[in-house]
Amino acid sequence: MGDSRAILEAAIATLSHTPGIVLTAKSSWYKTKAVGPAQPDYLNGCVILEMSMLPQPLLETLLKIEQKFGRVRQERWGPRTLDLDLLLCDDLILNTPTLEIPHPRMRERAFVLVPLAEIAPNWVDPVTGCVIKDLVKQVDCSDVHLLLGN
């Protein structure tokens, strides 16, 4: 919802100015079909961060940035201004009531794997042992389109 590209760019700028976080890579933007109820297409991308914080505080930071940009959680997978997910954290496997790393649906979502493969093709998924560039070959990428003017 809203000017997705401007919101995404501003959210990434906010994240990169957060103490303890350094942005090291950013993918192109991709236009994709939404998952869930009927709604407009989404813009998706991935970033790589170096951080001096643990995953739970990073998740809390991501949620605060979502709120800053108008995210309201009303309906699962419903329309939203911004959705920031923590996908991977080195080779960590973590499962708590509030956070699961790697992201539990990452391996089945082309809108995640395509931009991730652009910036981290050889990153190993610690659950499967597969590299991202191989995982992306296992999903249907027909609804993921590079946004022109990246």
At CB < 8 A and 24+ separation, what contacts does 59-65 make?
A: 59/86, 59/98, 59/99, 61/15, 61/18, 61/21, 62/15, 62/86, 65/11, 65/14, 65/15
Q: Which CATH number fits the domain that encloses residue 35? A: 3.30.70.560
Number of domains in the chain: 1
Active site residue 73: no
Q: Domain span at residue 108?
A: 4-146
Q: What is the structure's pLDDT at 72? A: 60
Active site residue 71: yes
Q: What is the structure's pLDDT at 33? A: 81
Active site residue 140: no
Active site residue 83: yes
Q: What is the structure's pLDDT at 108? A: 94
Chain segment 53-102, per-residue pLDDT in tens: 899 999 999 989 988 877 565 555 545 568 889 999 999 999 999 999 99
Q: What is the structure's pLDDT at 73? A: 55
Q: What is the pTM of this model?
A: 0.87
Chain segment 97-126, per-residue pLDDT in tens: 999 999 999 999 999 999 999 999 999 999
